[in-house]
Amino acid sequence: MNVLKVNPQWCSVLIVMFAIICVNGVAQAKVLYVANYGVDASDCGTITLPCRSISQAIAVASDRDRIIVGPGHYGDLNSDGDFEDPGEEKAEIGHGCFCVIKIDKQLSFESSDGTEVTVLDAGGADVNVVSIEASQVVFGKIKLGFTLTGAKRAGLIIADNNISWVNIMSNISIANGGDGFSFAGAKHSLSDNIASGNVNAGFNFSGSDQQLKNNLSIKNATGFSFSGDRHVLIGDVASANHSDGFHFAGNVDTLRNDVASRNEGYGFFMGGNEHTLNTIAAVGNALAGIFIDLSKGKIKITRSNIYGNENATETVGGATLANCGLINFSGVSANAVNNFWGGANGPGADPADKICNAKPGSKTSFTVFAKRPFRVVTRDKSLEPQPGKSSTALEDRTIFASNPRSYELSVCTLTGQLIAKITDQTQWASAIRSLPNGIYLTVTVTADKRRELAKFVVIR
């Protein structure tokens, strides 16, 4: 197979043809508008006739459309306890999604004026605020997400295990009766979201391969709770939660620049095996900074700050422990080399924290140790795509690597017939290999269809 970068000198005709015929599907994606001055109707959603409810915009929309929501209030608008008055969201209470807003199409959502001024309010009803029931939904955009509040259940829920690749960005889930964010299914990505004051976990995941960047969980039950394997967390913060800051029940999780501070349980509870914690901080938690509760081992903790934890006592395996920065309850070896333990002399008595090997067979290697704290940068804005800035090739590659469904590849014949549209990057090579001999045009666009990245002529 030959892949030639399109040269506009000799290929402009093909490109024009391609752009008109093949990418036409991209151009057809609609933008629908919702505003507090809108009116719900079967044809609402234009910029001059916006819908009043997000639910009505969803009803009008087709897969891949984009919904832009103006500032204000969405839910039970007259606060009379029902969702049946004009412009109110089409809530399903006691049946269906048990939610105020049901997203059952592959749509992307953003607010026009910002997360804090765009409030989806369940008004105390026994529902979730938002339920996502389709894969590849994009909910929120950098700084342009939604505030989800007032539910007796979760702020945002994905209840179906078969839903994947949902992207949640820049939302606030606050003061709900369940989890802030509750996710079944795999391969979701969450960045720059805040969960605060929810009765259950701030962020709760049951599937595998979740990617989290720059999220904050504060004053919930558990900060971040994971079952499933292979999660990647970068720059996330759990502070002042009523239970553990981060709780992992599965295997092979990767943490970098995450911080657990002043939680009432453990900073990081590590079940399962083969976790890597690099440049994290566990500081000032009521129980130990890190609790290792695994059966086979292979945990590595390095370049991290672990101090100020467990200022009262706790009982682990019948033993009374205090001042433990790290409790190794695994019964096997753990690698905690090159960390800062609160003092220049390594782990030990206050003001440092100790290493507590709390089970026969537990061993924790900790030399060398650092004499000074490491710099742990959380909620790092440089990790996020900047609005209005075109991305560099490097940035594209980074996004690409972290989320193979960030991009979509279309393959056309020279006469413009669409042969294939492939959303999973891992399938691209095999799809192109399986083409019959001939010349094809391909175009790569971002999954939200807002940016075209590359065109190639492919000769088979």
Binding residues vs Ca ion (CB under 5 A):
76, 78, 80, 82, 85, 323, 350, 353
Residue 381 CB, nearest approach to Ca ion (Å)? 32
Q: Closest CB to Ca ion among 331 and 342?
A: 342
The 3-state secondary structure of the chain, one letter per residue: CEEEECCHHHHHHHHHHHHHHHCHHHHCCCEEEECCCCCCCCCCCCCCCCECCHHHHHHHCCCCCEEEECCEEEECCCCCCCCCCCCCCCCECCCCCCEEEEECCCCEEEECCCHHHEEEECCCCCCEEEEECCCCCEECCCCCCCEEECCCCCCEEECCCCCCCCEEECCEEECCCCCCEEECCCCCEEECCEEECCCCCCEEECCCCCEEECCEEECCCCCEEECCCCCEEECCEEECCCCCCEEECCCCCEEECCEEECCCCCCEEECCCCCEEECCEEECCCCCCEEECCCCCCCEEECCEEECCCCCEEEECCEEEECEEEEECCCCEEECCCCECCCCCCCCCCCCCEEEECCCCCEEECCCCCCCCCCCCCCCHHHCCCCCCCCCHHHHHHHHHHCHHHEEEEEEECCCCEEEEECCHHHHHHHHHCCCCCEEEEEEEECCCCCEEEEEEEEC
Residue 82 or 104: which CB sits closer to Ca ion?
A: 82
8 A C-beta contact, residue 168 and residue 193:
yes
- Least distance between Ca ion and beta carbon 285 (Å): 11
Nearer to Ca ion, 85 or 116 (CB): 85
Minimum CB distance to Ca ion smaller for 7 or for 79: 79
Least separation in angstroms between CB 333 and Ca ion? 23
Which lies closer to Ca ion via its Cβ, residue 151 or residue 166? 151
Cα(17)–Cα(398) distance, integer angstroms: 31
At closest approach, how far in Å is the CB of 354 from Ca ion? Answer: 7
Judged by beta carbon, residue 25 or residue 348, the one nearer Ca ion is 348
Q: How far is the CB of 83 from Ca ion (least distance, A)?
A: 6
Select 353 or 408, whichever has its Cβ closest to Ca ion: 353
- Please say which residue, 120 or 169, places its beta carbon nearer to Ca ion: 120
How many residues make up the chain in this entry? 460
Which residue number, 74 or 165, has a Cβ lying nearer to Ca ion?
A: 74
| Contact (CB, 8 A) for 305 and 340 | yes
CB of 24 to Ca ion, least distance (A): 42
Closest approach of Ca ion to the CB of residue 37, in Å: 18
Minimum distance from CB of 372 to Ca ion (Å)? 16
Rank residues 320 and 437 by Cβ distance to Ca ion and give the closer one.
Answer: 320
Nearest distance, CB of residue 348 and Ca ion, angstroms: 9
Q: How far is the CB of 353 from Ca ion (least distance, A)?
A: 4
CB 236 within 8 Å of CB 268:
no
